[in-house]
Structure 1
Amino acid sequence: MPRIQPLNQEVDWPREEGAIGVVGVAPWATLDFLRALYDLVPATKDWHYPRVLADINTKLPSRGRHLELGERNPAPYIRETIEELAAQGADCAVVPCNTAHILFDQWSSGTSIPVLSIVDSVLDELVGTQGPVAVLASASIARFGLYERALEARGMAFMGLSQAQQSVVNQAIAEVKVDGRASVSCMERVESMLDEFAAREAGGIVLGCTELAGLLAACKARVPVAVESNAALARRALQFVGLPPGGAGCGSMPSGTIEE
């Protein structure tokens, strides 16, 4: 695919700006990642946004079914998709799926372009958090301790969920996967759970499943620090391709009068 250079002073962007490759394993989560990415760019024209190559492939083997039932491993297919995106011009790759990161080493090592970790992106935003961190994530992530081990490796305290609390999280994830949102009754259970975290003096909450982005406001209202994994990954991707979120380049470009 073409590498297009800026045209003139008005139709301009950073000369070394990179392209982001997105391996979409779940449609709603991938669309939310793209929304988070574009929301972070202070653009006034289309060309102010970075180039994005997205392959939303709902036929990639289920991460949860592989981990829980031993079905087909999605890692080789994710890795193949990364290489396809690289061949099309991507300078880095992201996989907006926390559960897939249990298998991160299998699909990220030795690729022809850098692969950005959603877990590292989240933990970077938790630096300085006071108090234990609760993680709302899939049953597979909870069972494999993906975030628990990562937090402890950085010297941060982890607040575990009870079986009942994990059940609430599982319900929210399942509803979003089907309808793109959690039901009113489910949200009532979620908010009650968040109140429990606040009562236990949680220092932070991680929305460690890309289906849970809609809970961010409720989390921020109850704890000092709340990090949504898709937004954290989007910020890391923009920084990698040379567009620091909320700054650099595009925000200061002349807007002109022509819209497209």
Structure 2
Amino acid sequence: MQTIGLVGGLSWESSAAYYEALNRGVEERVGQLSSARTVLSSVDFAEVTALQEAERWDDVAAVLTAAAQGVERAGADFLLLCTTTYHLVAEQVADAVGIPLLHLADVLADAATAQGVTSLGFVGTEFAMSRPFFTDRIAGHGLTVHVPPAAEHATVDRVIYEELVHGRVETASRREIVRVIEDLWDAGAGGVVLGCTELELLVQQADVDVPVFPATTLHVAAALDRALA
């Protein structure tokens, strides 16, 4: 089994979801007392968020690069960024380490293609929805990507940052996000990406009719495929 490197803390709820899913996945695939070989470096979410808000992306890259290099020195065979938003600096992080980075957008595009979906909706943080760095990477695989109208971005962001990153799961917020997802379906999306780890705490496939692509679940599955190959 290969060792999976994780750069986390973005938020800690996201990191906890990755850690639990990786270990449950190994337990299910291997059995007995098996658990995942992981190395985690968890950064300060408040520090990185402040740098993001100030548009100091070179400094964000420096923080995440230092974490990734620490993970590499600790023996990781490949790397995951436990976040969608901060994939904006994924290429800078990947260039600074000698181990492969398993890019989340590539994983999602491969999953959609495998299911015959050619048009994807994307729901994530306001930052990730309003800038093209992540959706363009998905589109680069030959897919059409839809995002919610700008008027909906603040709603999704509020649910993520004011509730889910603090572990709060509210029924009223689930209804709001489901409405956003269904609107994307009406706009032509054949499936919708839950593009933020915390959204998977709120919305499940049973909540909507359109196929959903849960980013963390798929990222974890791809990591386990690689680690256990």
Alignment correspondent of 2:6:
22
| Mapping for residues 15-164 of structure 1, pairs under 5 Å | 17-25=1-9, 26-41=11-26, 42=28, 43-46=30-33, 48-58=34-44, 61-63=47-49, 65-71=50-56, 73-127=59-113, 128-130=115-117, 132-164=119-151
Q: What residue number does 2:194 align with?
A: 207
Partner residue, 1:235: 221
Give aligned pairs, total. 223
Report the more deviating stretch, 67-76 or 166-175. 67-76
Q: Residue 213 of structure 1: CA displacement?
A: 1.2
Distance in structure 1 (CA, Å) of the matches to 2:46 and 2:80: 15
Q: Shift of residue 149 of structure 1?
A: 1.0
Select 2:176's aligned residue among 186, 189, 198: 189
How high is the TM-score relative to the length of structure 2?
0.86
> What's the CA shift for 1:239?
1.8
| One-letter identity of the residue aligned with 1:136 | V
Q: Quote the offset at 1:20 in angstroms.
A: 1.0
CA-to-aligned-CA distance 1:58-117 (integer Å, 9 cap, x gap): 267325x43442247221121122221222221112111111101111111141222211
Structure 1 unaligned regions, length at least 5: 1-16, 244-260
Q: Which has the higher contact order (CA 8 A, sep 6+)?
A: 1
* Superposed CA offset, 1:198-248 (max 9, x none): 33342011011122112441477321x3111111211121122225xxxxx
Q: Compared with structure 1, are the counterparts of its residues 120 and 50 closer, same or farther at alpha carbon in structure 2 (3 Å cutoff)?
A: same
Q: 1:218 to 1:238 in 2, by over 3 A?
A: closer
Partner deviation per Cα, 1:26-71 (whole Å, 9 max, x = no partner): 200001111222232314332x2221112223267325x4344224
Which of 1 and 2 has greater Rg?
Answer: 1
For structure 2, the 5+ residue unaligned runs are none
Cα distance in 1, alignment partners of residues 92 and 175 from structure 2: 38
* Partner residue, 1:176: 164
The residue type equivalent to 1:21 in the other structure is G
Q: CA RMSD in A?
A: 2.2
Is the 1:18–1:241 Cα contact (8 Å) retained in structure 2? yes
- Aligned partners of 1:21 and 1:53 also within 8 Å: yes
- Per the TM alignment, residue 173 of structure 1 is displaced from its structure 2 partner at its CA by 0.8
Identity score, percent: 19
**SS of the counterpart of 1:53?**
strand
The worse-fitting range, judged by mean Cα deviation, of 132-141 and 37-46 is 37-46
Amino acid paired to 1:149: D
